[in-house]
Amino acid sequence: MLGKQEEFIRRLKGTLGEQAVRLSEPMREHTTFRIGGPADYFLSPDSEEGILEAVRLCREAQVPLLVIGNGSNLLVGDGGFRGAVLQIYKNYAGIRWEEDAEGGCAAVQAGALLGAVAREAAARGLAGLEFAAGIPGSIGGAAAMNAGAYGGEMKDVLVSVRVLDGQGRVTELTASELDMGYRSSRIQREGLTVLEARIRLARGDRQEIARRMRELAEARGSKQPLEYPSAGSTFKRPEGYFAGKLIMDAGLRGYRVGDAMVSEKHCGFVVNCGEATAAQVMGVVGHVQEEVYRKFGVRLEMEVKQVGQF
C-alpha cells in the first residue's frame, strides 16, 4: 500500500503529468533574486483544469500552498517552502484579443508576462500598458500586487479577473471589487488565485506607443541595477519620501552582508552580487530599516514578499 505522501504525488502526476510535478525543487531557479531553498513540491500546470485540480488535491491532503508567477517580487527563505509551490507562468500564458473602433480588450491567462502583453498591445496600436512593459511579472502577480510604474498601475487597465477562492469556487470580480491600492489588493489579502485577467486599452498611435516604451526602457536601464539579480524595489515608498533617497542619505549605498548588497546604482534595490542567501538579504534589510529609522524616523516596510522558512 502507498503511503499518504506517495499517494499524493501519484495523484498530482496523474492529473498534471510527470513533467509538471517536481520534488525538492530549488526555488532559486524560479525567482529573479536567484535565492531560495527547496520547495517540497513544485507544480506547473498548463491549463485551468490543472490549476483547479492541483489546488483541490493540496487542500484535500492539507498541504500548504503558495501560488507564484515569475517570482519577481519574492524572497524565498534558505530553508525553502514546506508544502507545494504552484507556479502559474509560461505554461499558462495565452492572450485573446478583441478589438473595436475605440480600442481593445485582452483576456489574458494569469501566467502571461506583462512585457509580452504590452508588446502585443503596442503592435496592435493599443495604448495604456506602456508603463508595464519593463515590469518582469506575470499578469496574475501584477494584478495581485497592483504593480505600477511611471504613473501607471494595473488598476488603470484591469476590467475584471477570474479567480479561485479558498473554498474552490471560481468567480469573476470586477476591478472595482478588488479594492486595489498601492501594491495591494483584495487578491493578496484574501489569498485568491488569479486564473485570467481582462484588460481594456484605448486606440493609440503605434509609433507614439513604441516611442514611450523605448523611453521607459531606457529610463529603467539607466537607473536600475538590472545587471544583478533582485526582486525590484525592496521597500514600499513611504508616504512623502523615496526609500532609495533615504537609504542613500543614511550613507548605506553599497552596504553589504555577504553577497547581498544595497545597489550602488539605485539604493532602493537590494541586489544579489553572487551567491547571496536569504539570511544575508534580511541582514541588509534589517540594518537599512534600523539606520533609516534612527536617522530620519521613517519606518521602511518591505515590498518584496518573504515566503518559506528563514
Residues making contact with ligand FAD (CB under 6 A) = 32, 67-74, 88, 110, 135-138, 140-142, 144-145, 147-149, 187-188, 193-194, 224, 226, 230-232, 305
Between 125 and 272, whose beta carbon lies closer to ligand FAD?
272
* Cell numbers found for residue 33: 533574486
56 counts as catalytic? no
- Per annotation, catalytic residue among 28, 124, 183, 212: 183
211 counts as catalytic? no
Between 67 and 126, whose beta carbon lies closer to ligand FAD?
67
C-alpha span between 99 and 118 (Å, rounded): 15
Q: What is the number of alpha carbons within 13 Å of residue 270 lying toward its C-beta?
A: 34
Beta carbon of residue 304, minimum distance to ligand FAD (angstroms, whole number) = 8
* Cell numbers found for residue 88: 502559474
Do residues 43 and 87 lie in contact, with contact meaning Cβ atoms separated by under 8 Å?
Answer: yes
189 counts as catalytic? no
Beta carbon of residue 188, minimum distance to ligand FAD (angstroms, whole number) = 6
Between 81 and 255, whose beta carbon lies closer to ligand FAD?
81
- Per annotation, catalytic residue among 160, 185, 233, 263: 233
Beta carbon of residue 149, minimum distance to ligand FAD (angstroms, whole number) = 3
Between 203 and 305, whose beta carbon lies closer to ligand FAD?
305
Between 144 and 288, whose beta carbon lies closer to ligand FAD?
144
CA proximity to 110, closest of 133, 130, 86, 127:
86
Between 149 and 210, whose beta carbon lies closer to ligand FAD?
149
DSSP string, the chain: ---HHHHHHHHHHHHH-GGGEEEEEEGGGGSTT----EEEEEE--SSHHHHHHHHHHHHHTT--EEEESS-TTEEE-TTBEEEEEEE-STTS--EEEEE-SSEEEEEEETTSBHHHHHHHHHHTTEES-GGGTT---BHHHHHHHT-EETTEEGGGTEEEEEEE-TTS-EEEEEGGGG--BTTB-HHHHHT-EEEEEEEEEEE--HHHHHHHHHHHHHHHHHHS-TTS-B-S-SBPPPTTS-HHHHHHHTT-TT-EETTEEE-SS-TT-EEE-SS--HHHHHHHHHHHHHHHHHHH-----B-SEEESB-
Catalytic residues: 183, 233, 303
